[in-house]
Structure 1
Amino acid sequence: MCAVFECKAKKVYPIIYPIRYGQMNNINCYLYEHQNKLTLIDAGIDSAEYQIFFEEQLATYGLNIMDIEQIILTHHHVDHIGMVNKIIEKKQIPVFAHPLALERLALTPAYQKTKIQFYQELYERYGCAEVMASRIEKMQQTLHNDGGLRIQSVIEPIQANDYVGELKALETPGHSLDSISLYDEECGWLFTGDFMIEKGTTNALIDFDSEKSLLPTVLQQRQSIEQCQKYSVSTVFAGHEAVFDQFAEVAQLNIEKIDYKVQRIVKQIDKGNETVLKLASALYGDLLHKIPTLILSEVIGYVYFAEILGFVESVQRDGQITFRSV
């Protein structure tokens, strides 16, 4: 059992699942209690082992699933929604998420087909279709068999400046287009999902907007950090790693890290690494073939941000996008 955080008749019960998940340690969710109402913020992963752990953690706090009265999802990724269906099977309660999460949580066929088409065309345009063929295949498998990933609940939309009880929703896109953080002003508590963790921000994953255009996710990530810097934050309850209190230092470190990565991209282009694959190999070496989705998302996202800033420009050469510094 983790320590319970208390402030002005409010409590936070952390549920920290110790597991190596990608590049992260731990998968976190939180129970937020105010006026005897219990809100689950995020819901872990969908596995038998996690369900046992989740219910055991509730029991150590003297709670059980039937005590949960509502769920808020910080974003739609699978490591944040795993227990939702299991909870609502036992008790019909409201589930809140950003409007842009709705079709992703519902895994509608129309959304999945659009997603497959977007990434197929993106990877071909950037010359990395062969490297990413297995990811496209997995998307197609999900289209034909969602494997129970679809959330079986009506989602109530919340967006910037909406409140769920004492929790104010902040739109903090970057890691995902639907990312929200939840802020309790009275206590200075900020629930960030994957927008910010103790050792830094997670990847600003490439994604598409309603026009099927590539989103400027790194720019969004930077702007989200700057937005949160305006608030008085005492404690950050992150989706991975540890709960932490040095928000100002971590936020500034991440601003500097983003700016450094942009300059690193420009330097590599100046060295002749003018394609996404050459940039990925130069920057990350063998990791490109171990975690290609994350690496190529990182490189495409940052080179697009460098374009937005006017540091580089893209050039079509033999049907493929190449880059040069300006």
Structure 2
Amino acid sequence: MTLFTTNTKVIPIEIPVSNILKSINFYIIERNNSLFLIDAGVNHDTYWDAFVLALQEHGYQLNDLDAILLTHHHPDHVGLVYRIAALLNIPVYIHPYGLPKLKGDHEYLYMSYMFFGDLFNKLNCGDFGQAEAKRVYNNRLNQRETAIDWNIQELNRQTVFDFDVIHIPGHAPDQVAFYLEDLDIVFSGDLLIEHQAVSAFTEPTFHGKRMKALQQHRQSLEKIIQLNPKLALSGHGTVIKEPAILAKKRLDAIDKKAKRFLSMIEKGISTGSELVKQRHPVKYEKIFYTVIRDALSFLDYLEDTGAVEKEEVNGIWHYKASQT
């Protein structure tokens, strides 16, 4: 669905995928005689061909592109930047928290490896957790593509061009939304997806402190409720026509999921790994990094809200329901 106004044209590029995401979306925006790309899909010929075709169908060339705006650093949002940056020296805007991974910063990657190795020990993940931390570290250390050659501009301001920049961390620490006030539409990255809830993932700060991802995610949803835009254009799935209502539903779903974790803890399941194995017996090993960081975000949330307490015994965290 292409959106037109007097000074703005929004051209969605939606690539169907066979997994739960349904599609990977990115957007060409012409506004006040400038041309922007918000997010950039996956670095694959399918995405590149769709992008070039969309430009051509609307009378543009690649050289017409003035800037790229990234909602966050995940590979299904930045992929084509590697190709575009090799051809054009145009600014690429991203929040500073996304830069260490995109640039393959060795010091940050090692700090992150040590951070997760320690966490996985405390969550009682044993040798498997350590092996997974090492696997992810090696993969990131040996990534062939980095953003070193990009013309990066850090998003540390409230506006860029005509877009209001809204920091919406939780799913990723660097996630931002781009809001066009006159159109009352927001490009919301992965904060909201129409057909499914989005996970919040624990990450370290630049200094190795643990971010409280679910608390951040909740605050980001509350920002959308307060903004109450007419439309949200998501990184996946369909256009969201009532974003504030969906955000409220997602907050309710978070509370329900937190209660399920609390119920398991009340039954005596006390360590992080045991809780995840109980909830995801197959996914625990298949997508360990995803489910363990999601679970930790809920455990942090329950602890911060006073619903649970934790005690460290022989280097392992044990959770119990708080006495009220």
TM bucket, shorter chain = over 0.9
| Residue 29 (1) aligns with residue 36 (2) | no
| Residue 92 (1) aligns with residue 89 (2) | yes
| Residue 14 (1) aligns with residue 23 (2) | no
Q: What is the rounded CA distance, in whole Å, between the counterparts of 1:155 and 1:198 in structure 2?
A: 31
Q: What is the rounded CA distance, in whole Å, between the counterparts of 1:134 and 1:61 in structure 2?
A: 49
Report deviation, 1:129. Answer: 4.0
Report deviation, 1:144. Answer: 4.4
User: Aligned with 1:131: secondary structure?
Assistant: helix
Deviations 1:97-148 (A, max 9, x none): 1122222221111111111111111111111143334532333333542211
Deviations 1:54-107 (A, max 9, x none): 223333333332221100111111111111121122111111111222222211
Letter aligned with residue 232 of structure 1: N
Tell me the equivalent position of 2:150.
153
User: Aligned with 1:13: secondary structure?
Assistant: strand
Q: What is the rounded CA distance, in whole Å, between the counterparts of 1:254 and 1:114 in structure 2?
A: 32
Q: What is the rounded CA distance, in whole Å, between the counterparts of 2:156 and 2:6 in structure 1?
A: 26
Contact 1:173 1:217 in 2 (8 A): yes
Report deviation, 1:174. Answer: 0.4
The aligned runs of 1:205-224 (5 Å cut-off) are 205-224=201-220
Tell me the equivalent position of 1:79.
76
Q: What is the rounded CA distance, in whole Å, between the counterparts of 2:81 and 2:104 in structure 1?
A: 15
RMSD of equivalent CA atoms:
1.7
Tell me the equivalent position of 1:278.
274
| Residue 168 (1) aligns with residue 164 (2) | yes
Q: What TM-score do the two structures reach when normalised by structure 2? A: 0.94
Relative to structure 1, the CA distance from residue 116 to residue 185 in structure 2 (aligned partners, 3 Å threshold; closer, same or farther) is same
Tell me the equivalent position of 1:123.
120
Letter aligned with residue 42 of structure 2: I
Q: What is the rounded CA distance, in whole Å, between the counterparts of 1:218 and 1:206 in structure 2?
A: 8
Tell me the equivalent position of 2:109.
112
Report deviation, 1:280. Answer: 0.9
The aligned runs of 1:204-243 (5 Å cut-off) are 204-243=200-239
Letter aligned with residue 185 of structure 2: W
Structure 2 residue corresponding to 1:41, chosen from 38, 42, 52: 38
Report deviation, 1:155. Answer: 1.4
Contact 2:121 2:130 in 1 (8 A): no
Gaps of 5+ in 2: none
Letter aligned with residue 180 of structure 2: D
Relative to structure 1, the CA distance from residue 63 to residue 183 in structure 2 (aligned partners, 3 Å threshold; closer, same or farther) is same
Report deviation, 1:41. Answer: 0.4
Deviations 1:16-49 (A, max 9, x none): 111135x311111111111121110011111233
Q: Percent identity?
A: 26
Contact 2:204 2:211 in 1 (8 A): yes
Structure 1 residue corresponding to 2:175, chosen from 162, 176, 179: 179
User: Greater shift after overlay, 140-149 or 252-261?
Assistant: 140-149
Report deviation, 1:301. Answer: 0.9
Structure 1 residue corresponding to 2:309, chosen from 303, 306, 313: 313
Q: What is the rounded CA distance, in whole Å, between the counterparts of 1:134 and 1:79 in structure 2?
A: 25
Q: What TM-score do the two structures reach when normalised by structure 1? A: 0.93
Report deviation, 1:200. Answer: 4.1
Q: What is the rounded CA distance, in whole Å, between the counterparts of 1:164 and 1:144 in structure 2?
A: 32
